[in-house]
Structure 1
């Protein structure tokens, strides 16, 4: 009975939190670079995240971590992969400690990412692998938000390349960042989120309304 009451209290508290104006909420923008799309087969190379309290992006809070997985990554003919060099992999973070930090950062915050499907899939796999819990209040997907905003006509679906992070940013008048890197992409995602959210509702929407539009 105690666990049930605790779960109900937690649900109610989270529900109330999401009724706040979106500008009074804390967000965490995140980007993950991996060796592939399947978390059961592929590995996380690097991860970055940063807190946002609209309209402020707390760049000083940004975290960036690289994982070597105990071995030197084979880069083949390319000097880099996802903006990482062999030198980067010599300074690997400890995964369990890193993901524990991310878990604390996401507690009581809304996760912001560009392509929820991939990022959340990897985070759920990490939960099982490292025995951590990621419990954000909700998830804001900048890709889904842009798709819902710009391509409402089902007879005119988005063309290839129109929903990339940079393509979405350009439509909002944001600069094009050429480097493909977890920390740069986290900053890019955070800027895009703020541009989308303010354009959507100014200061008026609740956090729940904003999240629901980005499903």
Structure 2
């Protein structure tokens, strides 16, 4: 309890969140080609953001419609709870996380380096919930995140083409195959972040050079 109080009162930690939130996002009329994106993915101990925790995070930025691999990052996170049965999915066990990074350290880097970026994830609602909760635990407050969801964009794309969206058709692997993109190992945070970046760029192509951020937000609803 004291640790949470200390973090809420710590002006340095609060300043990280404040500075992130002060950085403006691109206006909705901005062409997508001129926007900065950050594709990211989280691996988790479960699906309940209130009681489960992040065990790894991967991200890769996109600028000028180009994936910046030199800035790609992957971190294992020291979870306060056991990974339990979630290890079946992401392959990370408690022993792998003994010397892992503190979540506050990784979040501080993320917020400092990528303020003003629109975040990208496949099924972004889950990633956003966990990011918000992690920031609340670490900093005592939550930044203003802006996400686009490659899964929802794909769903809209299929509906507009009159396609029947079958079971599992919106899983990341299925979306990559449909776009003719290389298959990647599932449930590795960096691989999934990179796959989401590839998928977004492919999904943007039909919109052409005049596609705006407002258009993208509409597809991502």
- TM > 0.5: yes
Q: C-alpha displacement at 1:62, in angstroms?
A: 1.3
> Alignment partner of 2:39: what SS?
strand
| Gapped regions of structure 1 (runs ≥ 5) | 1-9
Q: TM-score, normalised by structure 2?
A: 0.79
> Alignment partner of 2:27: what SS?
helix
Q: How large is the Cα RMSD of the aligned pairs?
A: 2.5
- Equivalent residue, structure 1, for 2:16: none
Q: TM-score, normalised by structure 1?
A: 0.81
Stretch of structure 1 that moved more, 26-35 or 46-55: 46-55
| Gapped regions of structure 2 (runs ≥ 5) | 1-21
Q: Does 1:121 align with 2:121?
A: no
Q: Does 1:88 align with 2:96?
A: yes
CA displacement 1:72-121 (0-9 Å, x = unmatched): 75569x7x651435663243001111111122234111110000221111
C-alpha distance in 1 between matches for 2:219 and 2:55: 31
Q: C-alpha displacement at 1:139, in angstroms?
A: 1.5
Count of residue correspondences: 199
Q: C-alpha displacement at 1:69, in angstroms?
A: 2.2
* Misfit runs of 4+, over 3 Å: 70-76, 85-88
Structure holding more helix per residue = 2
Check conservation: 2:43, 2:187, Cα contact below 8 A.
Answer: no
Q: C-alpha displacement at 1:160, in angstroms?
A: 1.6
Q: Does 1:42 align with 2:52?
A: yes
Q: Does 1:178 align with 2:185?
A: yes
